[in-house]
Structure 1
Amino acid sequence: MSMIQISDLTFSYDTSFDYIFEHVSFQIDTDWKLGFTGRNGRGKTTFLKLLMGEYEYRGSIAASVKFDYFPYPVKDPTALTVDVLESVDPQYELWKVMKEMSQLGVPDEVLYRPFQTLSNGEQTKVLLAVLFGKENNFLLIDEPTNHLDAEARRKVGAYLNSKKGFILVSHDRAFLDECTDHVLSVNRTEIEVQKGNFSSWYENKLLRDQYELSENEKLKKEIGRLLKSQRRTEGWSDQVEKTKRGTRNSGLRPDRGFIGHKAAKMMKRSKAAETRKEDAVKEKSKLLKNIETSEALKISPLEHHAKRLAVLEDVSISYGSKIVTENLSFDIEKGDRIALVGKNGCGKSSVLKLLLGKAVDHEGYLYKANGLRISYVPQNTDGLKGDLREYAYNCGIDESLFKTILRKLDFSRIQFEKKIEEFSEGQKKKVLIAGSLCEQAHLYLWDEPLNYIDVFSRIQIEELLKNSGITLLFVEHDLAFCNQIKTKEILMQ
């Protein structure tokens, strides 16, 4: 057991005037299983790369362990997997890697297949096996669950739960609960470390946020009351001070000493009220700095005259001689939120493309209601480029509404000036989702919409979908999201 000590860490990119991290200090134990969470664009991947020594920074990072980063870049995916292992760790011991692979349920035969022929899940598991096979290393695991099906996530989660000594970036709440014992969170103004899993951290955050909101309201009222009292006291003091001069033709001589003392006493009260007000303002300024504001999203789906929007009966989908989906039957009715569930490779994405009207070889009966308008969110962000104005124009959506939705999804205004290619993967995915929310459609087809998207935005999207009356067919492996959203589930073999 040893400590990783972060002291006064300050970093910004050369192209930006804003600090990603400023005077950040904390420490973590190398035996901990840390879940790393925070909004998209807050610098989680940047922090991991700082630990790896890839960027120059101010401050210090002290550690007695060697950092390894996942996913490891595979330079030649056509190479045999066993040769890829050697490129990851030239000193690897095959028996150790095979032992790790067996814990992950990966057969030994994959070692002698080209790496690119392995499924996403197999590639993830093999790289984790070789990296955990190293000694005295602390693993930095950056979003390993993207594109992994639910079964693979369970396997990887159970495997990581049996390990120690890593930082895991993930936005899958169930996955984080499965395999972490501490949470490292990048908040709006700080980085904090807390013992527990994601659920306990999130519950504590909600309680703290509620307390701060309540205190903020109390202080607002107190400041208002003190300000009103101060103005009233100052008015009285002025009036008393005027009586020193007496009234014309009254023939009376006022006791100026008494009146001056009374005015000074009132002014002292006024200054005391001012001091209390300033103290209340200072206390108020400490609050709400790390509350994540999540405004409600809105969508305006079109109303179709037909109750049943699509029907599939005994549909089989193939690519060449390979059948990926066989004898699939289900209906899509208005208001359905249907989750397509199954292992990777069983044809879930192909079903969405078939409904979208893309060229997919299939047999069986497919019906789509007349005039059906569909909005589609693809799995990948490949090809996104240009600025947001161009994207809105090319998609035929309202630019103002599009940017309003992105603002609600935690885009800062400075992001609007950047090219989409410069966005993080989570921000790119938000561009696709915001575009879909701007489209008026009868049916929404979303293919793994949550990859890379932060937890707070996931919760926003959940609330929208539950309350919008949208008709949705979706593929998603985030168990918490699926359980919140789905009204039906189609299990594909």
Structure 2
Amino acid sequence: MTLTNTSVVCADLSFAWPDGTPVFTDFSLVVGTGRTGLIGVNGSGKSTLLRLMAGALTPSGGSVKVTGELGYLPQNVALEPEVRVEQALGIAEIRAAIDAIEGGDTSEELYTVIGDNWDVEERARATLDKLGLTHVTLDRRIGELSGGESVMLCLAAQFLLRPDVLLLDEPTNNLDLEARRRLYEAVGSWKGSIVIVSHDRELLDLVDQIADLRSGEVRWYGGNFSDYEEALAVEQEAAERMVRVAESDVHRQKRELADARIKLDRRVRYGNKMYETKREPKVVMKERKRQAQVAAGKHRNMHLERLEEAKERLTEAEEAVRDDREIRVDLPETSVPAGRTVLTLRDVELRFGSRAHFEVRGPERIALVGRNGAGKSTLLRTVVGEIPAGGGRGEGRRPDALSPQRLDLLDEELTVAQNVGRFAPGATDNVIRSRLARFLFRGRKADQLVGTLSGGERFRATLAALLLADPAPQLLMLDEPTNNLDLASVQQLTQALQSYQGALIVVSHDLAFLRDLQITRWIRVDGGTADIDPM
């Protein structure tokens, strides 16, 4: 790995989707050695930018130049089930060449294939072990691995490649807590240039700098994500102060313009009176009247210009203030009194032999944690009746609702308002729209087709449909709700759930998110049982 001048340079980059929707226009960016966190709202172009850097997309203008070798881990890893681990790691040909030489074949092309990689199998094994894939053999097939294991395998392939520049797009999606910790360690020890698109705050706290992609431009902030939040808070406080100053200036300019118009009207009336009384020669009075009109026009234009300038300063100041609207779900229909039993599971047998035994009482906030494949999603789907329990006893005494990982509850061909109407058929259109405003779907936003929504908007629409349903859920279950949400959407979701008055069960590997929810109980699912674990 060569570390000198490691960088990615995007020069005057332009890109648009086939339907003509522009993403970047004359965009420029330089990324040097170190760890960079690339953040931005859903739809700002983060993943598209990484794909352009990686060569997976071709820009319509400008150029992308990478110094050194580049590695890329996309957001959605797609590997054929029949592919072997050694093939995914890119070492199958080298292993075959080594085996052939050890079997007596001395062909020159075999040595060319191997190069300096005689220890590739040992390095592969060490990399897999480092990432928690100790049990995964090189001859195993991808179809036998979980989604989280496939992500870690692809990451292992990048580490074996040892690129000068590594691009990671939402690498913690589908990773359990242990896998995330191993990823954090790997990123923390990375020596080259790495660009990470993520909403995982713990991962972003490992970077050296933050690149904030907003409205087709990048603003740089030194330090990690916590440093970025502090700097942004200072910026926003100053921006809000400037808005107040600009608003005051606009009001002042309006008053001065009104005062000027009153004074000018008085002068005109006085001039007309002098002209009518003919106290001075007609020629002199006409000239004075003309001069007064010119002066009045200049004076009025001066105040109009000042007012327009003040309005422009106000617009600029308002644009600097970020949209911090909050979702509000403090719906009284969802309220659960303290101590009231909401859900009881007595040795309920789940699929794959797992068993669940716990009770939910009152407006508890429960985190359901455990390794990938342990049965967390299965447990939630069993509670709502999507999957039948194999034995034991389960009893839910209040309406419940489940938001699955896939967010496939809504009809993509219907609008947001129409989808909510499906869940609450007795509600009028006016009631639906007034309720949707609490979820930031106001006006024409409520008439937008679900199929055109971004990831964050789709989650808000799903949450709205579930919580505005009839009857309203007093037990809300969320399965990996922060996957693919940008940081602003995660913050909105956190604020929304903090105002939710019912019982809550959340499956998530995002510890920062869970802590912000002020979880009251942790339940670990280990593939055999679901029991209380104080964590």
Fold shared per TM-score above 0.5 = yes
- Hey, what does 1:43 align to over in structure 2? 45
User: Structure 1's 437 and 207: CA in aligned 2 closer, same or farther, altered over 3 A?
Assistant: farther
Q: Which amino acid aligns with 1:479?
A: L
Q: Which amino acid aligns with 1:447?
A: D
Q: Which amino acid aligns with 1:487?
A: T
User: Structure 1's 441 and 135: CA in aligned 2 closer, same or farther, altered over 3 A?
Assistant: closer
Cα-to-partner distance string for 1:40-63 (whole Å, 9 max, x where unaligned)? 122211111222232332223233
Cα-to-partner distance string for 1:424-446 (whole Å, 9 max, x where unaligned)? 55554444333223322121111
- Hey, what does 2:508 align to over in structure 1? 476
Which range moved further: 253-262 or 225-234?
253-262
1:167-316 equivalence runs, <5 A: 167-177=195-205, 179-188=206-215, 190-247=217-274, 252-253=279-280, 270-289=300-319, 291-299=321-329, 300=331, 301-303=333-335, 307-316=340-349
1:399-418 equivalence runs, <5 A: 401=432, 405=436, 408=439
Cα distance between partner residues in 2 of 1:33 and 1:260 = 70
Cα distance between partner residues in 2 of 1:172 and 1:324 = 29
Q: TM-score, normalised by structure 2?
A: 0.79
3-state SS, counterpart of residue 110 of structure 1: coil
3-state SS, counterpart of residue 263 of structure 2: helix
Q: TM-score, normalised by structure 1?
A: 0.85
- Hey, what does 1:156 align to over in structure 2? 183
Q: Which amino acid aligns with 1:86?
A: G
Q: Which amino acid aligns with 1:202?
A: E
Q: Which amino acid aligns with 2:367?
A: A
Within the candidate set 366, 372, 382, 1:338 is matched to 366
- Hey, what does 1:82 align to over in structure 2? 86
3-state SS, counterpart of residue 309 of structure 2: helix
- Hey, what does 1:56 align to over in structure 2? 59
Cα distance between partner residues in 2 of 1:351 and 1:436 = 19
1:332: Cα distance to partner? 0.9
Cα distance between partner residues in 1 of 2:512 and 2:264 = 63
User: Structure 1's 228 and 411: CA in aligned 2 closer, same or farther, altered over 3 A?
Assistant: closer
Q: Which amino acid aligns with 1:139?
A: L
Over the matched positions of the two proteins, sequence identity in percent amounts to 24
Q: Which amino acid aligns with 2:16?
A: S
Q: Which amino acid aligns with 2:49?
A: F
User: How large is the RMSD of aligned CA atoms in angstroms?
Assistant: 3.4
- Hey, what does 1:366 align to over in structure 2? 394
- Hey, what does 1:32 align to over in structure 2? 34
Cα-to-partner distance string for 1:198-226 (whole Å, 9 max, x where unaligned)? 22212222322222122112112211211
User: Structure 1's 244 and 231: CA in aligned 2 closer, same or farther, altered over 3 A?
Assistant: same
Cα distance between partner residues in 1 of 2:63 and 2:85 = 37
Within the candidate set 4, 7, 22, 2:8 is matched to 4
Mapped contact 2:450–2:458 kept (Cα < 8 A): no
1:482: Cα distance to partner? 0.5
Cα-to-partner distance string for 1:258-288 (whole Å, 9 max, x where unaligned)? 8987887776555444443333233233233
Cα distance between partner residues in 1 of 2:92 and 2:243 = 52
Cα distance between partner residues in 2 of 1:23 and 1:408 = 35
Cα distance between partner residues in 2 of 1:175 and 1:104 = 15
Cα-to-partner distance string for 1:390-411 (whole Å, 9 max, x where unaligned)? 6445545667747974995689
Cα distance between partner residues in 2 of 1:88 and 1:139 = 22
3-state SS, counterpart of residue 132 of structure 1: helix
1:376: Cα distance to partner? 0.9
Mapped contact 1:82–1:112 kept (Cα < 8 A): yes
Mapped contact 1:307–1:333 kept (Cα < 8 A): yes
Which range moved further: 398-407 or 193-202?
398-407
1:190: Cα distance to partner? 2.5
3-state SS, counterpart of residue 318 of structure 2: coil
1:95: Cα distance to partner? 3.4
User: Structure 1's 487 and 247: CA in aligned 2 closer, same or farther, altered over 3 A?
Assistant: same
Mapped contact 1:233–1:267 kept (Cα < 8 A): no
1:131: Cα distance to partner? 0.9
- Hey, what does 1:130 align to over in structure 2? 157
1:55-134 equivalence runs, <5 A: 55-71=58-74, 73-86=77-90, 93-107=120-134, 109-134=136-161
1:251: Cα distance to partner? 7.4
From the CA coordinates, give the structure whose radius of gyration is larger: 2
Which range moved further: 391-400 or 145-154?
391-400
- The number of equivalent residue pairs is 482
1:375: Cα distance to partner? 1.0
Mapped contact 1:141–1:167 kept (Cα < 8 A): yes
User: Structure 1's 416 and 150: CA in aligned 2 closer, same or farther, altered over 3 A?
Assistant: farther
Can you give the 5+ residue segments of structure 1 that lack an aligned partner in the other structure? none
Q: Which amino acid aligns with 1:78?
A: E
Can you give the 5+ residue segments of structure 2 that lack an aligned partner in the other structure? 95-112, 527-535
Within the candidate set 21, 25, 44, 1:22 is matched to 25
Q: Which amino acid aligns with 1:14?
A: P
Q: Which amino acid aligns with 2:39?
A: T
Tell me whether 1:488 sits opposite 2:490 in the alignment. no
Mapped contact 1:10–1:59 kept (Cα < 8 A): yes
Cα distance between partner residues in 1 of 2:228 and 2:17 = 30
Tell me whether 1:348 sits opposite 2:376 in the alignment. yes
Cα-to-partner distance string for 1:320-350 (whole Å, 9 max, x where unaligned)? xxx334xx43221221111112222222222
Cα distance between partner residues in 1 of 2:441 and 2:209 = 25
